[in-house]
Amino acid sequence: MLEGLHNYYSSLEQSNKLMHLENICIGDFGVAKYNDDDRWYRARVVKSEENDRIQIVFID
């Protein structure tokens, strides 16, 4: 499942079809790229910060 998720969101990233941060709210579920392995994982938004930054927790 995670391999399919990674492939799908990598293709969206390349096509610039990912959701913009201004459309995301605290509590929303989505996916985020983990810096250590550059792969996509399910995540939840826990905090909105200044300068178009958000804080998330990874689910997987």
Which CATH number do you get for residue 11? 2.30.30.140
Q: Into how many domains does the chain fold?
A: 1
One-letter amino acid for residue 12 of the chain: L
The two beta strands, 39-49 and 29-34, are: antiparallel
2 has pLDDT over 70 = yes
- Domain span at residue 13 reads 2-58
Cβ–Cβ < 8 Å for 47, 26? yes
Whole-prediction pTM: 0.72
Going by DSSP bridges, is the β-strand pair 29-34/53-58 parallel, antiparallel, or unpaired?
Answer: unpaired
Q: Which residue has the tokens 């941060």?
A: 21
What is the average per-residue pLDDT within 3-30? 80
